């Protein structure tokens, strides 16, 4: 801004200097013409007389008749030149269109294209009409700069595609919350791996595995248990360790065991890396808190239903105030079996669960 103001002031002062240098020459021309008119040929009887004015009067005349600086600047264009060439007009039309570009991704493309076209026509006008080499060079530089920005913006607007399973996760969980594909790709950059689990393979072992990741089930089913007693089942597009996201450090251990009921695939994020990545983006942080909070509520509802089957009793150790996780159920022999509720959870998500294999509904529950 200071550079623009300095250039404007310099141009005004230069223009005024050019105008004021012309005024003394005009006064000298007038004085010369008056002296010439006073001279009479020698053939006349009257001798030629010279026009003489006092010095003080000359000073006064020159002071009073000299216009002010602003009058000279404002009225120096006594006659306007003809309208400029069509290239000049088209260039300014493109500049006007670029200034009307909206503040969107398409608007950024519109802005850069308009500026490039305007500079191109302005350079053609300077080259073919006015023959200004400096104007041609400046407009060439402007075209190059805008082309670089145009290319970068066009690169950012390219379609972003994900793997089929990742695409399903995006459509099911993140797109309804208006998370863009670019933002979701940023989240995927914190991914550790996609882990393949065989049937009956443990993902996490109770009080052995550290809570250092955030895991989302892509396919298959996993059962969460504690002390070899099933608590609930985790289905696709649900998190395995959402309760540990809130208030549990990476140095703590899982208080439950997680085992695959069938061949499953799990998307695993670096937990600390993901938290650091979304910490600078309040929107993504709110999205993850919402999704994981909703997942925790879903798990608590499942566990509450499981506890209701066991007559709502808690273990004696929990009643005594020992620090235990919330996902606990009655031990075997203290109430009716809870496997029926797990079968109901399976049926609620997969109507063909009975064909895949029915869990034995007995009062004495066997480990899954």
The per-residue pLDDT for range 63-78, each reduced to its tens digit, is 455 666 666 666 677 7
Mean pLDDT of the 330-334 span: 41
- Residues in the chain, total: 368
Query: Quick one: pLDDT at residue 303?
Result: 82
Question: Per-residue confidence at 81, pLDDT binned at 50, 70, 90?
Answer: confident
Phi, psi angle pair for 258, to nearest 5°: -125, 125
The per-residue pLDDT for range 9-52, each reduced to its tens digit, is 665 556 555 545 544 554 455 455 545 444 444 444 445 555 45
- Measured N-to-C along each axis, helices 282-309 and 271-279 cross at an angle, to the nearest 10 degrees, of 130
Burial-class residue 91 by CB neighbours within 10 Å (0-12, 13-18, 19+). Answer: buried
DSSP labels, 308-366: HHTTT---HHHHTT----S---PPTTSSS-SHHHHHHHHHHH-TTHHHH-PPP--SSPP
Residue 141 has pLDDT above 90, yes or no: yes
The mean pLDDT value of the chain amounts to 75
Lowest mean pLDDT among 57-66, 272-281, 313-322: 313-322
Gap between the Cα atoms of 196 and 265, Å rounded: 5
Token digits of residue 33: 């013409």
Residue 335 has pLDDT above 60, yes or no: no
Gap between the Cα atoms of 88 and 269, Å rounded: 57
Question: What is the three-class DSSP state of 100?
Answer: coil
DSSP labels, 141-208: HHHHHHHHHHHHHHHHTSPP---HHHHHHIIIIIGGGT--HHHHHHHHTTEEEEEEE-TT-EEE-TTT
The answer, as to whether pTM is greater than 0.95, is no
Query: Quick one: pLDDT at residue 1?
Result: 59
The per-residue pLDDT for range 237-256, each reduced to its tens digit, is 999 988 888 878 777 888 89
């Amino acid at each position: 801004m200071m550079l623009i103001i300095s250039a404007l002031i310099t141009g005004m002062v230069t223009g005024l200097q050019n105008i004021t240098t012309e005024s003394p020459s005009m006064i000298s021309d007038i004085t010369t013409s008056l002296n010439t008119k006073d001279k009479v040929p020698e053939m006349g009887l009257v001798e030629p007389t010279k026009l003489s004015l006092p010095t003080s009067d000359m000073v006064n005349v020159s002071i009073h008749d000299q216009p002010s600086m602003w009058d000279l600047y404002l009225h120096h264009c006594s006659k306007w030149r003809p309208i400029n060439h069509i290239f000049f007009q088209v260039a300014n039309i493109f500049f006007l269109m670029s200034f009307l570009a909206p503040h969107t991704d398409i608007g950024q493309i519109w802005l850069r294209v308009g500026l490039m076209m305007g500079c191109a026509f302005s350079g053609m006008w300077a080259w073919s009409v006015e023959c200004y080499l400096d104007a041609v060079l400046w407009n060439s530089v402007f075209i190059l700069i805008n082309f670089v920005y145009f290319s970068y913006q066009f690169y950012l607007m390219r379609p972003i595609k994900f793997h089929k399973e990742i695409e399903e996760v995006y459509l099911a969980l993140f797109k309804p919350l208006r998370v863009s594909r670019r933002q979701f790709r940023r989240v995927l950059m914190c991914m550790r791996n996609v882990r393949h689990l065989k049937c009956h393979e443990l993902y996490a072992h109770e009080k052995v595995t550290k809570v250092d990741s955030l895991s989302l089930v892509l396919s298959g089913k996993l059962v969460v248990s504690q002390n070899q007693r099933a608590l609930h089942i985790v289905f696709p597009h649900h998190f395995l360790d959402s309760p540990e996201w809130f208030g549990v450090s990476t140095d703590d251990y899982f208080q439950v065991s997680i085992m695959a009921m069938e061949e499953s695939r799990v998307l695993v994020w670096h937990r600390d890396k993901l938290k650091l990545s979304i910490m600078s983006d309040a929107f993504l942080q709110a999205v993850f808190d919402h999704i994981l909070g909703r997942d925790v509520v879903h798990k608590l509802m499942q566990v509450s239903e499981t506890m209701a089957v066991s007559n709502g009793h808690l273990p004696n150790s929990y009643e005594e105030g020992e620090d235990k996780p919330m996902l606990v159920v009655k031990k075997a022999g203290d109430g009716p079996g809870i496997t029926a509720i797990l079968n109901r959870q399976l049926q609620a998500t997969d109507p063909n669960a009975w064909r895949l294999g029915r869990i034995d509904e007995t009062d004495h529950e066997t480990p899954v």
